Amino acid sequence: MTTHMTLRVNGSDHDITVAPDTLLLDALRYECGLTGAKLGCGTGDCGACTVTVDGEAVNSCLVYALECEGHAVETVEGATAGGIGALVAEEFVKADAVQCGFCSPGIIMSTCALLARTEPGAATDEDIKEALAGNLCRCTGYLPILEAVRRASGAPR
Amino acid sequence: MSDKDFGQYQNVGRRLIRRDAVERLTGHTTYTEDIRLPGMLHGVLVQSPVAAGRIRGIDVDRAAALDGVVKVLTAKDVTDRRYGNYVKDQPIFARDRVRFVGEPVAMVAATSLAVARRAAGMVEIDIEATTPVVDLREALTSAEVLVHDRDTNVIEDVHISRGDVDAVFATAHAVVHTEIESHRAHQAYLEPRAVTAVPAPGGFSLLMSTQQPFGVRAQLAELFDLPTGAIEVRVPAVGGGFGGKLHLLFAPQAAAMTLATSRPVQIVCSRAEDMVTGNPRENSIVRMSSAVDESGRILARRCDVVLDAGAYAMDTPILTSMAAFYATGPYRIDALDVRGRAVYTNTCPTGSFRGPSGPQMVYAAEAQIEDIAQRLGLDPAEVRRRNFIGEGDRGPTGELITLRGTTDECMRVVESRLRQWRQADVPRDDHRRRGYGLACAWWSTLGTPSAATVELHEDGTATLSSGGTEIGTGAISTALPSMVAEELGLRPDRVVLKSGGTRDAPYDSGSRGSRTMFATGNATVLAARAVAEQIRNEASRLLGVDPADLVLREGRVEVEGAPETGMTIADVSASAHMRSGPVVATGRYRAELAPVEGSDLRGARFLRLGEPTFHCHGVEIALDEETGRVDVLNFIAVHDVGRVVNPVGARGQVEGGVVQGIGYALTENLRTNDRGVIVNGNFHDYRLPTIADVPPHIETLFIETNHSHTGPFGAKGLGEPPVILPAAAIGSALRDLLGVQPYHLPLDADRVVLTMAERDARPTPGQPPSTTRPPEPEVER
């Protein structure tokens, strides 16, 4: 049993076919061809699948695609194509905050959601830790990530 | 060694920005699970629900009849040959017997993942459950409950004998005994294991998240009785490995299904499948006794290490030798009686995890130092100092140490930092108690084989073809091209890297054992030097200058000491292509094995450790005595790994390793119940450190005055050491704080509270026993 829907992703409408239980993550990866969001655990614990829906960070492995009809979904591919997301990615490069990279798209998206709701320079270390506590990284030990987010937060927007 | 080896370089030693960072950060890097091929089937494994049993029958009819299912395989459909890195004991699908919960018994391939999952649930396995042996001590001694058809569960038994241990023990000033037990921890890379098999003429290809594609290829060739060249292993980006992706993983199952269906077959593990099927860091028991003189000098040591292999051997045989070799710690001990054993149990197979056997061996050796110091009333740092191994000494297997020992230099830095931390004020509203500790270790760099090809093109740009595998460290993607650039006098962006599998490059033995920068680096430098020589010879003909007087720098071939002379490398290369042939060379490397002397080794898988590296970590912790919660407040990591090729990448290795080590020490514990079921095989219950758990600062320092004689530009290996020390440093800090050493890992809240309770229940305070459990009777030896 499948149904047609329109999913608005990164500012473009995608007419896709989904089942009632198709996850947003799978719709993005396999219907829209956007594989930046990753399946790390499937239980909402690792954050590798993080995207934003109407600006808020969500685990796309816990959301059905049909729930997102009429909402604006953004993935790492769209977020880093320009604006604040591109700046965030640049700071991650400078801080050497990426190793294997599997968690990185999700961390970029959680960062983008944080910066969207805070004034430049306003995010404290506690705010950053709270925003990223749902994103596991097994390679870096997190300190370069913290540094990159601090810098991105302080940059003029 | 030439002056240049210790000199300044254009690229080596400078901050290198990751070449592949932007692509990874923006979601454009392709991992195995991102690739879906036309006509591809989804494979799902049917796993054993019990830890031990006899398979009476498997009914696949209902599953096979489901719409969308293309094939169901069981043991009877595939070869009975077994596989394994060292002991070939593992079947593709369980045959007759199952040996652990989660063992693959059958596999379904279907046109969609949902159908494959549903069908897998419809395969009916009739198993007569038998009594499993789950406990390591029980498995060690049992002659009744046997995991395999052998007369013992012991699969590996290694002895090191050196000097007259009995005589020294009989006459020593004191004998100190320490016994520790350690737990299982999972590599928990963020990308679950994934493989796609693709039909190919005469064989198959794999797209696989693996740390060693050439090892996978060799083992599959043997398993499926195919020529090595008929199998290709391509490695898309690897989302972390840490030793967990050194094995065949589910390549045999995917390949068998591709051979049966002639279609591409993908297996992507769910996190739950990933965590219950393999190969966490092994749980272990380490018993250690030292005979010492009054000054704390260790005259002799006995050590008995028992590792839990789980149901199949995987890497454990070689880890048993490693564990035995690391029984001395970074200390010179001239009389040794070390025994290492590995034991089968009906549990998930264990295997390599970054610095295998390291954390528990360092924990045991450092707890032993502190036990010795306590017994003799000495400062533990002073006891360490009196025993550090160094140049001219012989290591555990009798190998001559030819590098200066720098553990003392590392420890002095840490001691000074611990003094500063002790003196700092504690916030008034913080009721937690502080503890300060340090740990020392040595480790070695694996020198296993590698080859690399460097080709200089007509336009003066170069291609490096490396069989090395980028697993996220940047060693392959970024450091190797910079080494080629250094040797050829090119800008790094003029060197293009081709790597990622078996097709485009010669053999490399994989990203493991801290070897990539060292061994793959050496092969790369040798290839680049041979290319430089070809260029100098060609330029010599063109310029009429002795090749020995020519240098390659800034894109030119110049007369040494006379910048702007000579020609561009592009012109020389173009000339060589027309006159003498393409400018290309392959470097091949294998570390030379130094002779060993004075030790009797029985059952060891290798003879000596590689070139040593030296390390010390220090930590400040805070303990909430009401909850048992330990927080790491400050951390310092000091390492001697020879030349640091890329300071940014090196810092990343240390910080990442330290945080993994903190996780191992405090929160990570993959638990198996008495029925052999892993009870926390998911990221909710298995607690990895998050950004909210890490110390605000990890100070990373390198001793850079002790360059390797054999590594590229003086480099040694760094990948593993940072993870092996934190547990021992935290244990030392807890001892500082509690007055007693915890002898069981992990040091989680339960353990800390229990340690405090045991301390307080002791009848005679001030006379601590050397273990928190009554000593076991010595197992016959």
Question: Which two tokens mark B699?
Answer: 């100070």
- pLDDT digits over B346-358, tens only? 999 999 999 999 9
Confidence of residue B575 (pLDDT cuts 50, 70, 90): very high
Which residue among B26, B242, B692 sits closest to A77, beta carbon to beta carbon?
B26
Beta-carbon contacts of B121 under 8 Å, excluding residues fewer than 6 positions away, are none
Which residue among A39, A129, A135 sits closest to B33, beta carbon to beta carbon?
A39
Rounded distance, CA A37 to CA B710, Å? 43
H/E segment holding residue B407: helix B407-423
Test mutation, B24, B469, B655, chain A, max A CBs within 10 A: B24
CA distance A36 to chain B (A): 4
For chain A, say whether B685 makes contact (Cβ under 8 Å).
Answer: no
Span B371-378, mean pLDDT?
98
Write the secondary structure of B350-378 as one string of H (helix), E (strand) and C (coil).
CCCCCCCCHHHHHHHHHHHHHHHHHHHCC
Is the pLDDT at B379 greater than 90, yes or no? yes
Contact yes or no for A39 and B697 at CB 8 A: no
Residue in this structure with the two tokens 């006891």, named with its chain if needed: B383
For chain A, say whether B541 makes contact (Cβ under 8 Å).
Answer: no
How many beta-carbon pairs below 8 A join chains A and B?
168
pTM greater than 0.90: yes
Question: Which two tokens mark B162?
Answer: 């050196």
- For residue B697, which residues of chain A lie inside 8 Å, CB to CB? 143
Is the pLDDT at B776 greater than 80, yes or no? no
Q: B521-543 and B480-488 helices cross at what angle (nearest 10)? A: 20
Beta-carbon contacts of B54 under 8 Å, excluding residues fewer than 6 positions away, are B96, B97, B127, B128, B130
Contact yes or no for A45 and B684 at CB 8 A: yes
CA distance B651 to chain A (A): 9
Residue B133: name the closest of B195, B202, B187, B53 by CA. Answer: B53
For chain B, say whether A145 makes contact (Cβ under 8 Å).
Answer: yes
- For residue B238, which residues of chain A lie inside 8 Å, CB to CB? 100
Q: What is the pLDDT of residue B766?
A: 52
- pLDDT digits over A34-70, tens only? 999 999 999 999 999 999 999 999 999 999 999 999 9
CA distance A151 to chain B (A): 16
Is the pLDDT at B229 greater than 80, yes or no? yes
Residue B770: name the closest of B413, B371, B245 by CA. Answer: B371
Contact yes or no for B472 and A101 at CB 8 A: yes
Q: What is the pLDDT of residue B609?
A: 87
Rounded distance, CA B234 to CA B592, Å? 30
Rounded distance, CA A3 to CA B161, Å? 72
Q: What is the pLDDT of residue B763?
A: 74
Confidence of residue B4 (pLDDT cuts 50, 70, 90): very low
Three-state secondary-structure class, residue B566: coil
Span B182-191, mean pLDDT?
98
Is the pLDDT at B3 greater than 90, yes or no? no
- For residue B472, which residues of chain A lie inside 8 Å, CB to CB? 99-101, 139
- pLDDT digits over B594-627, tens only? 778 899 999 999 888 888 999 999 999 999 999 9
Span B63-79, mean pLDDT?
98
CA distance B237 to chain A (A): 8
Confidence of residue B5 (pLDDT cuts 50, 70, 90): very low
Q: What is the pLDDT of residue B764?
A: 61
Rg (CA), chain A: 15
Which residue among B192, B648, B682 sits closest to A43, beta carbon to beta carbon?
B682
For chain A, say whether B27 makes contact (Cβ under 8 Å).
Answer: yes
CA distance B490 to chain A (A): 23
Question: What was the ipTM of the complex prediction?
Answer: 0.98
Confidence of residue B770 (pLDDT cuts 50, 70, 90): very low
- For residue B29, which residues of chain A lie inside 8 Å, CB to CB? 101
Q: What is the pLDDT of residue B596?
A: 86
CA distance B454 to chain A (A): 25
Return the DSSP state at B71.
E
Q: What is the pLDDT of residue B775?
A: 46
b/e string for B162-177 if b means 16 or more Cβ within 10 A? Answer: bbebeebbeebeebbb
The percentage of chain B sitting over the pLDDT mark of 90, rounded to a whole number, equals 93
Contact yes or no for A89 and B22 at CB 8 A: yes
- For residue B186, which residues of chain A lie inside 8 Å, CB to CB? none
- pLDDT digits over B12-53, tens only? 999 988 999 999 999 999 999 999 999 999 999 999 999 999
Q: What is the pLDDT of residue B774?
A: 46
Is the pLDDT at A110 greater than 70, yes or no? yes
- pLDDT digits over B652-672, tens only? 999 999 999 999 999 999 999
CA distance A104 to chain B (A): 5
For chain A, say whether B157 makes contact (Cβ under 8 Å).
Answer: no
Q: What is the pLDDT of residue B161?
A: 96
Query: Phi and psi at residue B139, in whole multiples of 5°?
Result: -65, -35
The percentage of chain B sitting over the pLDDT mark of 70, rounded to a whole number, equals 97
Contact yes or no for B472 and A139 at CB 8 A: yes
Is the pLDDT at B133 greater than 70, yes or no? yes
Is the pLDDT at B777 greater than 70, yes or no? no
For chain B, say whether A98 makes contact (Cβ under 8 Å).
Answer: yes
Residue B653: name the closest of B780, B411, B490, B471 by CA. Answer: B471
**What is the rounded average pLDDT for all residues in chain B?**
95
Taking CA–CA distances from A140, the nearest residue in chain B reads B656
- For residue B191, which residues of chain A lie inside 8 Å, CB to CB? 38, 40, 100, 102
Q: What is the pLDDT of residue B594?
A: 74
Which residues 45-84 of chain A have a CB within 8 Å of chain B?
45-46, 48, 75-77, 80-81
Is the pLDDT at B771 greater than 70, yes or no? no
